Amino acid sequence: MGTGPDMQRSFLADNLRNLLRNLRDEGLSAIPGRLAEIAGRKFARGFEEVAYRTPLGDTIGRGYRGHGIVVMFHEIHTDVDAELRTGCDPAQLERIILALRASKRDIVTIPEGLRRLADPASSPFAVLTFDDAYRDNLTNALPLLERLEAPLTLFVPTGMITRETYAWWLGLREWILKNDSIDVVPMGRRFSCADLASKLSTMRQLTSWIGYDQARADSLMPVFDAQAISIPALVDRYAMDEAELRRFASHPLVTIGAHTETHRILSGLSAPELAAEFRGNKSYLEAMFDRPVSFLAYPYGTPDSCGAREARLASEAGFEASFTTRHGHLFSEHLRHPHLLPRIDVGYAPQSAASLATRLSGLHRAMATHFGNPVATEV
């Protein structure tokens, strides 16, 4: 899609119309909260820009900059707008890799990163990770990573390969893309989504409403059925099959990691269910590749979706290290918490230079925690 001045003005106008429409639909009581939310986002972006263009970013970020950093991607699209900006494009992936190297970090495997974390004299490092085994990781990301000689870890849920995962986020995106308005009965809301701005807003609001509540995600199943949206068909469209995964995994730059059997929200599972998610996924991948699978990434990975219980069961399942999505860099102190390692999402669009710099410098952790503990484990 175009990005010229006319397109940008049109998008801004659509955004404003969508905001007014949402305020009308939500009622007067929602206005203070919505305006506070917008103001908070604007302030954060403004602060990022100021920090990026002045010494402030490096000054504050210095105390939050760890010896290592683990970054996370999902889908790598050729047209991010066509997929409602749920991933990034190859050009952004390349910019991030070059920025990591410009910050004097070597891009290494997870085992090498953990080794360096234990050695204060070693060089700073970065680890690249991709979640969910999307087909575009093979077609769009791997050729670029090969050209840049950048190793990566792919975290694979069993159900994405067997087509059994209830990938509600793919169904939600498809529903919004196919319609100019949608009635979300479980939420009690109707959304108008005829243009890109309103589709993005609808996707954002519904994803936020689901949050880490599996019951809310499950409540959309009848909606998808009524709309003739097949989740297995969408997973088949977007995710690698077994033959593609084998081809991807055979590349010398690739390490395969675990990402549970079903990609469900872990905090809602019983301990036996959770143990089965970890052990079943690990066994499935080890049988496929005839080699150990030593690393795990928790689906969603926030404090609301995983914590000390998940860390203990991951250790008991035989993993050497496990990754969350807590904001923050890696410090030597994390070696005492190897199953609650932080990981930073950088695979979103659009992404400003200031936003990326904030994450790579450590400033994002400072902002997210209101200048709290630099070492992310529980938060």
Which residue among 217, 232, 247 closes a domain? 232
- The reply to whether 216 and 200 lie within a common domain is yes
Which residue among 207, 232, 257 closes a domain? 232
- The reply to whether 158 and 172 lie within a common domain is no
Which helix or strand (DSSP H or E) is residue 161 part of? helix 158-162
Residue 376 in contact with residue 365, Cβ under 8 Å?
Answer: yes
Which residue among 181, 207, 232 closes a domain? 232
Instruction: Count Cβ atoms below 10 Å from residue 242 Cβ, excluding itself.
Output: 10
- The reply to whether 174 and 141 lie within a common domain is no
CATH of the domain at 65: 3.20.20.370
- The reply to whether 225 and 311 lie within a common domain is no
| Per-residue model confidence (pLDDT) at position 217 | 97
- The reply to whether 225 and 244 lie within a common domain is no
User: What does DSSP assign to residue 149?
Assistant: T
Distance CA 173, CA 304 (A): 23
For residue 317, give its domain range: 55-164+239-368
- The reply to whether 320 and 244 lie within a common domain is yes
Distance CA 51, CA 48 (A): 5
| Per-residue model confidence (pLDDT) at position 1 | 46
Q: 293 phi and psi, to 5 degrees?
A: -115, 105
**Residue 298 within a domain:** yes
**Residue 379 within a domain:** no
Closest CA to 96 of 115, 80, 65, 72: 72
**Residue 375 within a domain:** no
Q: 90 phi and psi, to 5 degrees?
A: -60, -35
User: Measuring CA to CA, how many Å separate 120 from each of 66, 115, 208, 232, 246?
Assistant: 11, 10, 40, 47, 36
- The reply to whether 263 and 146 lie within a common domain is yes
**Residue 374 within a domain:** no
- The reply to whether 186 and 311 lie within a common domain is no
Which mean pLDDT values do the consecutive 10-residue runs of the chain (379 residues) have?
50 55 60 59 81 88 95 98 97 98 98 97 98 98 98 98 98 98 94 96 96 95 96 98 98 98 96 98 98 98 95 98 96 96 95 94 92 83
- The reply to whether 175 and 259 lie within a common domain is no
Distance CA 110, CA 126 (A): 9
- The reply to whether 180 and 70 lie within a common domain is no
**Residue 376 within a domain:** no
Instruction: Count Cβ atoms below 10 Å from residue 368 Cβ, excluding itself.
Output: 17
Whether the upstream peptide bond of residue 120 has omega within 30° of 0, thus cis, is: no
Amino acid at 262: T
Amino acid at 120: P
Amino acid at 144: L
Instruction: Count Cβ atoms below 10 Å from residue 190 Cβ, excluding itself.
Output: 12
| Per-residue model confidence (pLDDT) at position 27 | 62
- The reply to whether 137 and 283 lie within a common domain is yes
| Per-residue model confidence (pLDDT) at position 40 | 62
- Tracing tokens 């230079």 back to the chain, one arrives at 353
| Per-residue model confidence (pLDDT) at position 50 | 87
**Residue 50 within a domain:** no
Instruction: Give long-range contacts, CB 8 A cutoff, 24+ apart: 105-110.
Output: 105/68, 105/69, 107/150, 107/151, 108/151, 109/151, 109/153, 109/255, 110/153, 110/255, 110/257, 110/295, 110/321
Q: How many structural domains are present in the chain?
A: 2
- The reply to whether 142 and 286 lie within a common domain is yes
Closest CA to 170 of 205, 134, 195: 134
Q: Which residues pair with 154 in a beta bridge?
A: 130, 256
**Six-digit token pair at 310?**
């998940």
Residue 136 in contact with residue 124, Cβ under 8 Å?
Answer: no
**Residue 378 within a domain:** no
**Residue 277 within a domain:** yes
Amino acid at 42: K
